[in-house]
Structure 1
Amino acid sequence: MQENQIPYGQPYPPPAVNPPWFLPAPRGARYDHLARNGAGELWRPIVGTLVVAAGFLVIGLVVIFAGLTLSAILGFTSPVSGQLFGNPLLGLVFSLLSIAAVLPLVFGTVALVQRRLPGTLSSVAGRLRWTWLLMCVGLAVVALVLGQLAQAAALAMTGEQTEGMIEWAGWSEFGPALVVIVLLVPFQAATEEYIFRGWLIQAFGTRLANPVWAIVIGSLLFASLHGYSWVGLVDVFAFGAVMGFVAVRTGGLEAPIAMHVVNNMLAFGLSAAAGKLDQALDQGGSPVPWQALAGTVVQLAVFSAGVFFLAKKRSVSTISG
């Protein structure tokens, strides 16, 4: 018998099978630990974070440059008073696109660097839970209304003048802006959540048992991208911190995305209705009153409490299956 010959009657060994590229998420893991899938080399979260950060900058610059080029072709006026594109509506389109266009890069980084399905960035279910997301949208609307009422009450109690009914710019100006807001704001807001409450929290989670540091650092980075006064920055940091906690506690990004989308759609929608989109895009303009923090506290408290109550009542999964 030759040396490598299989004895008669003995089964042949099974052919070698290459392991699949996408590694399964760990079972029974919290949202912040979903990247612990066996591809645990330290370089993966570090390289992935650098790729996402560089992509955020490069893609944003490319989109803005494309917008400026289009603005020049269309013959809009030179940028004045913070109007980078010479036209507020065009500025809104490319400002939102400069962020939304980063989302495919985030998903690609998850797939290529961490060898996991991009759906694990959405939730412990490995996908975006749409029914739960829509429920959170309803809660976000209620929380936002109560927060606005609390802010108005704080302004009134401190003797500050509250603005009356907004001026109506007319459908000719509001209509096109509304279309842009409805089509692009959900993607812009979701992209920011996937980066700051998704990628960062899970990247830190590959090494840290407690998500606090990831939530705090992600919220600081999130706030640093805004040009508000100190009150506005506190507001944005608080939003990011609470949404990070909500994401971990509910096992996904559905609630943070819902709150972020509702917030931004209201902010841009009111500005567009009043014909003041240029002011909405200029974050360094009028300072945010400190009384706005009262509204923020009420809004975030109502939303998080409502989300936790409804998640428990509907048995929303908070760990991977």
Structure 2
Amino acid sequence: MHDNQPPAPYGAQPPYGPQYQPGPYPQAMYGTPPPKPAWFVPAPPGTRYDHLARNPLNAWWRQVVGTLFVAACFFGVAVLVVVAGTVVAVIAGIPVPMAGVQLFGDPVFTLAVTLLSIAGVLPLVYAAVALFQRRPPGTLSSVVGRLRWGWLARCTGVAVAALVLGQGALYVAYAVTGQNTSDLFGWKGWAAFVPGFVVILLLVPFQAAAEEYIFRGWLLQAFGAYVTSPWPGIVLGSAGFTALHAYTDWGILDVFSFGVVMGWLAVKTGGIEAPVAMHVVNNVFAFSLSSAAGDLEDAMRQGSVPWQSLTGTVVQLSVFALGVLWLTKKRAIATVSS
């Protein structure tokens, strides 16, 4: 400072000149701080659906802990929903016998609670993907990272056609073997049918999707994180899916074969859409038949099924698989990540 210049007041800018102005010393000396790593890390391009958990962060404990989390959520949500349903039933004056699958005195209310107890776990499966596998949650749906709604609609159309042909084959099998075909359909009137049908339409899509996202989504991809072949995940996922149901004898083979075909189609089509479409159509039809006949209790009881039912299952699954695979090729549906 010059001797003849008065001191600058506090806060004033000293006349240091431009060469003395403060500069970006931290950036100049140390460089720009590196960006924080992204939480979601996708698998490399060209990855098959069952291998989508094979991102750079893949580790054995992620699949184990994530599977335990999904299992705990599955049973935990079921308990919470049943407890909440019991409270509602007591308030509404609905009997609560808790006898086997007949949880409540009203079969429609029992169906609603049962479906919600499974559907409620769906968002938690997405949470497991995000928290433990640290990949985009949408990759649980397909190789393009989201649920392909247009493709789901087309698969639903094929599922309806396959169901019609499968039921026709079942009717023929009943007629040829002398089984009473009237057992295939009953009608108790609109008053018995409509309440259950409304619950079915509202909740079955979420219940069926939840089961598919667990057994043909999470489990298939968790095994795929270790194993190159999709078949261990398909077979073990189908075994778990079968154990979830209470069918016996021929019904076990029926449900297991359904799971195997759906797991195989998830891999071949690059997503969960085809299995969800088939499962939703199948369950809506099955529950609707029981509602029309006024025996929703039997639908939830499951148990034994006649061997003739396998005829309808073979036709239904074959038509659906062939139709979906043909459409996959015709529509150029993505089967690997991009």
Give the TM bin, normalised by the shorter chain: over 0.9
Which of 112, 126, 133 does residue 145 from structure 2 map onto? 126
> 1:1-321 residue pairs with structure 2 within 5 A?
13-79=31-97, 82-163=101-182, 166-284=185-303, 287-321=304-338
For residues 254 and 184 of structure 2, what CA distance do their matches in structure 1 show?
A: 24
Q: Deviations over 1:68-104 (max 9, x none)?
A: 2222222223425852111101001000000000011
Contact 1:168 1:273 in 2 (8 A): yes
8 Å CA contact 2:142–2:271 kept in 1: the answer is: yes
Aligned residues: 314
> What is the TM-score of this pair, normalised by structure 2?
0.89
Paired with 2:70 and 2:240, the residues of 1 have a C-alpha distance of 13
Q: Call closer, same or farther: CA 1:165–1:219 in 2, change over 3 Å.
A: closer
Cα distance in 2 between the residues matched to 1:156 and 1:169: 23
* CA displacement at 1:302 relative to structure 2: 0.5
Distance 1:165 1:59, change over 3 A: closer
Contact preservation (8 Å) 1:25, 1:120? no
TM-score, normalised by the number of residues in structure 1: 0.93
Tell me how far 1:24 sits from its aligned partner. Answer: 2.1
- Does structure 2 conserve the Cα–Cα contact (< 8 Å) formed by 1:6 and 1:12? no
Distance 1:282 1:6 in 2: 73
After the TM superposition, which parts of structure 1 deviate over 6 Å for at least 4 consecutive aligned residues?
A: none
Given that 1:168 and 1:274 are in contact with CA atoms closer than 8 Å, whether structure 2 keeps it comes out as: yes
CA root-mean-square deviation = 1.9
The separation in 2 between residues aligned to 1:165 and 1:151, in whole angstroms, is 9
More displaced, 89-98 or 225-234? 225-234
Q: Which amino acid aligns with 2:318?
A: A
Q: Which moved more, 1:144-153 or 1:126-135?
A: 144-153
Gaps of 5+ in 2: 1-22
Structure 1 unaligned runs (5+)? none
Say if 1:28 and 1:75 are closer, same or farther in 2 by CA, change over 3 A: same
Instruction: Give the residue type in structure 1 aligned to 2:316.
Output: Q
